[in-house]
Amino acid sequence: MQIWLNLVLGVQLLTALVMIGLVLVQHGKGADMGASFGSGASGSLFGATGSANFLSRSTAVCAAVFFACTLALAYFGNLGGSTRNDGGSVFERAGAASAPAAASAPQIGQIPTAPIAASAAGVQPAATAASTAPPTAASAAKP
């Protein structure tokens, strides 16, 4: 299975590179205007219009092979997917993963409490705001 996946991936990369090269070698629509004034295109290997047909057909074949490889990679990627994610879509898995975290988070406006493990280990909670407040004139007068 892994050999087929690597083979299809290699063919896809090769066709992508060949397709890039074929597109770069092709002449644009404006380049055909110069051929009508005798630029020497009729003496090419494929004839006056043969190179355009050959290059465009080769590009179409490479695009079809690239498309087929992409579909094959998508099929191989999803082949063992049902055992990995227990069915369901990506959104369902994301919702299930964030549900436990959302249940333990404090609601807006609530003051979070100290964790149970910290208080059981003998860690003293931080001082409250009332005990660390600076003395006022009324509290300073009391002995």
Q: Say what the pLDDT of residue 22 is.
A: 92
CA–CA separation, 143 and 126 (whole Å): 26
pLDDT at 133 over 90: no
pLDDT at 130 over 60: no
The C-alpha angle 84, 90, 91, rounded to 5 degrees, equals: 140
The C-alpha angle 33, 35, 39, rounded to 5 degrees, equals: 125
DSSP 3-state of 140: helix
Q: What is the torsion angle, in degrees rounded to the nearest 10, for the CA atoms of residue 93, residue 95, residue 96 and residue 99?
A: 160
Q: Which two tokens stand for residue 17?
A: 């590179």
CA 16 to chain centre: 19
pLDDT at 76 over 70: yes
> Minimum mean pLDDT among 31-40, 75-84, 87-96, 103-112: which range?
31-40
> Which has more confidence, 100 or 23?
23
For residues 38-60, average pLDDT: 68
> Which has more confidence, 133 or 59?
59
The proportion of the chain whose per-residue pLDDT surpasses 70, expressed as a percent, equals 49
Q: Which helix (H) or strand (E) holds 56?
A: helix 50-79
CA 127 to chain centre: 46
The proportion of the chain whose per-residue pLDDT surpasses 90, expressed as a percent, equals 26
Q: What are phi and psi of 8, to 5 degrees?
A: -65, -40
